[in-house]
Chain A
Amino acid sequence: MQLRKLGVLAATAALVLGACSGAATATDPLGVIKVGANDPIHVAFWGVISGADASLGTDSLYGVQIAADDKGGKLLGHAIQVTTEDGLCTPEGGATAAQKLAADKTIVGLVGSSCSDETVGGIKALTDAGLTTISPSNTRPALTLASRGPEYAGYARTAHSDAFQGKAVAEFVFNVLKLTKAATIHDGSAYAEALQGVFADEFKKLGGSIVAQEAVSKGQTDMKPVLTKVAAAAPQVIYDPVFVAEGGYLWAQSKQVAGLEKTVMIGSDGMFTPDFVKAAGKAAEGNYLSSPNFSAFQAGYADFLTKYKAKVGKDPISAFHAHAYDAANILFNAIEKVAVKNSDNSLSIGRKALRDAIFATKDFKGITGVLSCSASGDCGAPLIAVYQITSRETGGTWPPAKPTWP
C-alpha cells in the first residue's frame, strides 16, 4: 500500500517535471536532445578502425579530432566528446555500430561512415533515431541520388560521388593514357561494384571497350585465377577500385600472370594509403591511383597538414582526413546555429532542426573547397586527381608529391 502510493507520487512528479521542461524548450518533430549544464556535447564517429582497411577510418577520425581541437575542444561552452564505433567496412558491422549509436540518446550528430557498405547497413537505424550523419569517405553514387529512399533522410556527405570519380578515371585512361581496352575487377562491396560500373559506362561512351568485368571476394588472397582469366581477354588496363588488402594482392600478383606484365593497373581512393603501396610493393611502380585532388584544396589545407603531423606524428595515412575535418565542422556549425541555450547554461538541440541546418549548409568555406549541400545530401566538391606511384612512394614517402592528371 505504502509502496504503491510512493509509485503514484513518483509518476506524478515525473509528469509534472516533464511538462515543465517541455514548456521551457522548443519542440521538435524528431525530439529534442538536452545537454545538461555540465555535460559535454556528444558527437560520434563511426567507420572502419580495425582490420585491413583501418587506415581509411582512422585517418578520418584524426580529421574529426583536429576539428574538435580547433574549436578548443568546446562548443557553446560545452566540451566536445567524440565517441567512436567500429563499422568494420561491412554492411553487418555498419548496422551493429549504427544501432549501438542510435540507442545512445545523448548523441547529437555523427560523422561517418567510412565505407559505403557500412552506410547501406546502418543508415536506417540512425535516420529512424532522428540522427544525422555526414560521411567523409562514402563515394557510392546511389547514396545521394535524388531518388534515394526515405531511410537516407539523415545522410549527407562531404566526399565526392563516384559518378565523378569513375568518369574522371575513364577520361584519364582514354584521353591521357590513350588506351582503349580495359578490364575491371571489384570485390562485391557497394563501393567497388558501383565505381567500376560508372567507369565501364563512361569508358564505353568515350569509345573504349570493356573486355572483362570480374569480381573477387573480400578476404580472398589468391588472385591469380581471376587475373589469369582476365589476362585471356588481353586488356591494356585493369581498373580495380577495391580496398587495401585485396588491392595489394591484385597488384602484386598481376606481375605473376602471363600476359599482364605490361598491363597498367589503376585503383581508386579506397586504396590511396601507404599500407596499400607497401602491400603491392614494387608492382605498384608506374601504376596509378585516383583520389581527391589535394593540390586543388583550399589554403587552409597546409595548416591542417601541420596540425595532423603534430597530432599523429606522420603524414596522412589515407585520403579523407580533410573531408572528415570539413564534415565535423559542418556538424559543429549546425549545432551552434540550432542549439538553444537555457538559463541554467544547459542546451536544447532539436534533431530535425539540426538535420535541416546541415542540409541548408551553403558556401561553407571548408579546406576541401567551398561546400554547399544539395537536398539529397551531396556536400562535396568533386575534384578528382590521378596520381602515379613511383619508387618514391614504394620507398616509404607518402603521399605522392603532385597529381599526374589533371
Chain B
Amino acid sequence: MKASLIERLTEGAIVAFLWLLRVAVVLVVVVGSALTIMSGRYSLEVYVGLVVSGLTLGSIYALIALGYTMVYGILRMINFAHGEIFMAGAFAGYFVVTASDKLGFLNQGAVSAMITIVVAILVAVAVATPVALLVEKIAYRPLRNAPRLVPLISAIGASFVLQYTFRGLFGPGIYSYPTVDFLDRTLPISGIIVRYVDVIVVISAFVMMTGLYLFVMRTKLGTAIRAVSEDKDTAALMGIDVNRAIVTTFGLGAAMAGAAGVLYALLFRQVFFMTGFVPGIKAFTAAVLGGIGNIPGAMLGGLFLGQVESIGPTLFLDGFNVPSPNQLKDVIAFTMLVLVLVFRPSGILGERIARSRA
C-alpha cells in the first residue's frame, strides 16, 4: 500500500518535471526570440546570414548523419568510427587539392577549380569507402551476433585506432587546404556575403542525399537493404544476400562521409587527426534528432541542428542579455535534442518507422 503510494508520487514528480522542462524551454525560446527581435539590434540581413551559415553546416551534418542512421537501421548499432571515416575523406581531399595547387591548376578559373573539387571528392570517396569496409570486416562482422553493447565498444576502439593511425601518419599538426579563389567569390547580394563555396556545398549535399534516397527506395539493392533492416533472418530466407546488403550500407555511408569531409574542409580549410570527432558527435545527434534509422529523418535532423547552432544563441539568448551567448551553442543544441526526445521519444520522423515495424 505504502510502496505503491511512493511509486505513484515519484511517477507524478517525473511527469511534472518533464512538463516543467518542456514549458521552461519553450518559454525561453519564445520569450527570448521575441525580446531579441523586438530589440531591433539586428537587421534582417544578420538573420539571413545566420540562416545561410546554418544551412551549409547543417547539410554537412546531414551527410554524415546518413551513415549513422543507415548503419543503425540495418545492424541496430552505432558506428562511432564514422567521424573518422569523414576525417579520412577530408585528408584524402587535402592531398588532391594541394597537388592541384602546386601544379598551378587550381586557381586557373572556374572549370579547373570545379574539376579539382570533383576529383578531390571522388578520391575522398575512394579512400573513405575501403577504410569503412575494413572497419566493418575487422571490428563489426565478427561481432554481428554478439550482444548489442559489444560492437558499440568495438566501434569506439576502431575510432581511436583510426585517429591515432592518422596522427602517426601525418603528425599532430594542422593541414590547411589551399585557398581556392573561385570558391571565395561572392554572390551579388547586398548586405550578406554568400560565397560560391556555400552554394556548392549545399547543392552537392542535396544532390547526394537525393541520390541516396532514390537508390535506397528505387533500386533492387536498396530494396534488399530495406528488407534486411526490417528483418534480417526473414530477408535471408527470402534469398537476399544479407552480407552484401550490410557491406553496401557501410560503403554508401562512408562515401557520403568522405564527400562530406571534402566539403567541410573546403568550407573550414583546417584538417587534423581529430577533425572527425566533433562533427561526428554532432551528426550522431542529428541522426537521433531526426529519428535514428530513418533516412529523411537524418537529413532533417542535420539541417535542424545546423540552424539551431547557428541562429539559436543570438535569437534565443541575446534578448535576455546573456553575455557571449555563442559560447553556449552546444548547450542550446543539446537542449533542443532533449526537448525533441521529451516530446517525441523516437525523434522527429522516428515514429512512423517504429510503428510500421511493430
Least CB distance from B227 to A in Å reads 39
Interchain CB contact (< 8 A) of A256 among B173, B195, B323, B326: B195
Indicate if B210 sits at the interface (CB-CB under 8 A): no
Known: A213-B324, A257-B193. A225 touches B329 (CB 8 A): yes
Across the two chains, which residue of chain A brings its CB closest to B272? A52
B50 CB contacts on chain A under 8 angstroms: 224-225, 228
Docked CA distance A245–B178 (Å)? 16
A219 CB contacts on chain B under 8 angstroms: 277-278
Do residues A281 and B176 form an inter-chain contact, with CB atoms below 8 A?
yes
A222 CB contacts on chain B under 8 angstroms: 53, 57, 268, 309-310
Across the two chains, which residue of chain B brings its CB closest to A246? B270
Q: Number of contact residues on B: which range applies?
A: 35 or more
Do residues B193 and A258 form an inter-chain contact, with CB atoms below 8 A?
yes
Docked CA distance A213–B323 (Å)? 8
Indicate if B226 sits at the interface (CB-CB under 8 A): no
A231 CB contacts on chain B under 8 angstroms: 46
Across the two chains, which residue of chain B brings its CB closest to A229? B314
Do residues B274 and A51 form an inter-chain contact, with CB atoms below 8 A?
yes
B268 CB contacts on chain A under 8 angstroms: 221-222, 249, 252
Across the two chains, which residue of chain B brings its CB closest to A51? B172
Indicate if B49 sits at the interface (CB-CB under 8 A): yes
Contact mask for chain A residues 206-247; partner B; CB cutoff 8 A; 1 contact, 0 none: 000000011111011110111011011000000000001100
Indicate if B311 sits at the interface (CB-CB under 8 A): yes
Indicate if B192 sits at the interface (CB-CB under 8 A): yes
Query: Which chain A residues numbered 27 to 68 have a C-beta less than 8 Å away from chain B?
Result: 49-52, 54-55
Indicate if B45 sits at the interface (CB-CB under 8 A): yes
Contact mask for chain B residues 14-43; partner A; CB cutoff 8 A; 1 contact, 0 none: 000000000000000000000000000111
The secondary-structure label for the interface of chain B is helix
Indicate if A159 sits at the interface (CB-CB under 8 A): no
Indicate if B8 sits at the interface (CB-CB under 8 A): no
B309 CB contacts on chain A under 8 angstroms: 222, 225
Indicate if A400 sits at the interface (CB-CB under 8 A): no
Count of chain A residues with Cβ under 8 Å from any Cβ of B?
37
Indicate if B302 sits at the interface (CB-CB under 8 A): no
Across the two chains, which residue of chain B brings its CB closest to A277? B176
Do residues A256 and B176 form an inter-chain contact, with CB atoms below 8 A?
no
Interchain CB contact (< 8 A) of B49 among A216, A217, A224: A224
Least CB distance from A376 to B in Å reads 30
Least CB distance from A378 to B in Å reads 29
Do residues A279 and B270 form an inter-chain contact, with CB atoms below 8 A?
yes
Contact mask for chain B residues 250-280; partner A; CB cutoff 8 A; 1 contact, 0 none: 0000000000000000001110101001110
Docked CA distance A118–B172 (Å)? 18
Query: Which chain A residues numbered 273 to 325 have a C-beta less than 8 Å away from chain B?
Result: 275, 278-279, 281-282
Do residues A225 and B310 form an inter-chain contact, with CB atoms below 8 A?
yes
Do residues A214 and B310 form an inter-chain contact, with CB atoms below 8 A?
no
B324 CB contacts on chain A under 8 angstroms: 213-215
Docked CA distance A227–B339 (Å)? 28
Indicate if B191 sits at the interface (CB-CB under 8 A): yes
Indicate if A188 sits at the interface (CB-CB under 8 A): yes
Indicate if B179 sits at the interface (CB-CB under 8 A): yes
Docked CA distance A1–B50 (Å)? 81
Docked CA distance A279–B184 (Å)? 15
Do residues A245 and B270 form an inter-chain contact, with CB atoms below 8 A?
yes
Indicate if B76 sits at the interface (CB-CB under 8 A): no
Query: Which chain B residues numbered 316 to 341 have a C-beta less than 8 Å away from chain A?
Result: 318, 323-327, 329-330
Indicate if B167 sits at the interface (CB-CB under 8 A): yes
Do residues A258 and B326 form an inter-chain contact, with CB atoms below 8 A?
no
Contact mask for chain B residues 176-200; partner A; CB cutoff 8 A; 1 contact, 0 none: 1011000010000001110100000
Indicate if A248 sits at the interface (CB-CB under 8 A): yes
Do residues B176 and A278 form an inter-chain contact, with CB atoms below 8 A?
yes
Across the two chains, which residue of chain A brings its CB closest to B278? A219
Indicate if B313 sits at the interface (CB-CB under 8 A): yes
Docked CA distance A107–B207 (Å)? 59
Do residues B174 and A275 form an inter-chain contact, with CB atoms below 8 A?
yes
Docked CA distance A221–B309 (Å)? 12
Interchain CB contact (< 8 A) of A215 among B270, B318, B326: B326
Across the two chains, which residue of chain A brings its CB closest to B328? A217
Across the two chains, which residue of chain B brings its CB closest to A55? B173
B53 CB contacts on chain A under 8 angstroms: 222, 224-225, 228
Do residues A256 and B310 form an inter-chain contact, with CB atoms below 8 A?
no
Do residues A214 and B174 form an inter-chain contact, with CB atoms below 8 A?
no
Do residues B318 and A229 form an inter-chain contact, with CB atoms below 8 A?
yes
Docked CA distance A52–B45 (Å)? 33
Residue of B172, B179, B309, B326 with highest tally of chain A CB at under 10 A: B326
Across the two chains, which residue of chain B brings its CB closest to A257? B193
Docked CA distance A281–B268 (Å)? 11
Docked CA distance A221–B87 (Å)? 14
A51 CB contacts on chain B under 8 angstroms: 172, 272, 274
Across the two chains, which residue of chain B brings its CB closest to A281? B179
Least CB distance from B100 to A in Å reads 16
Least CB distance from B285 to A in Å reads 15
Do residues A54 and B173 form an inter-chain contact, with CB atoms below 8 A?
yes
Across the two chains, which residue of chain B brings its CB closest to A249? B268
Do residues B269 and A252 form an inter-chain contact, with CB atoms below 8 A?
yes
Cross-chain pairs A/B with CB under 8 angstroms, 13 sampled: A51-B272, A52-B272, A219-B277, A222-B310, A224-B50, A225-B54, A225-B309, A232-B46, A255-B184, A258-B49, A258-B191, A258-B193, A282-B179
Give the interface of A toward B (CB within 8 A). 49-52, 54-55, 188, 213-217, 219-222, 224-226, 228-229, 231-232, 244-245, 248-249, 252, 255-258, 275, 278-279, 281-282
Not counting A221-B278, A229-B326, a sample of 16 additional A-B residue pairs whose C-beta atoms are within 8 angstroms of each other reads A49-B172, A50-B172, A51-B274, A213-B323, A213-B324, A221-B270, A225-B311, A225-B326, A226-B313, A229-B314, A232-B46, A256-B195, A257-B193, A278-B176, A279-B270, A282-B179
Give the interface of B toward A (CB within 8 A). 41-43, 45-46, 49-50, 53-54, 57, 167, 172-174, 176, 178-179, 184, 191-193, 195, 268-270, 272, 274, 277-279, 309-311, 313-314, 318, 323-327, 329-330
| Top 3 closest pairs, chain A to chain B, by CB | A215-B324, A226-B326, A224-B53
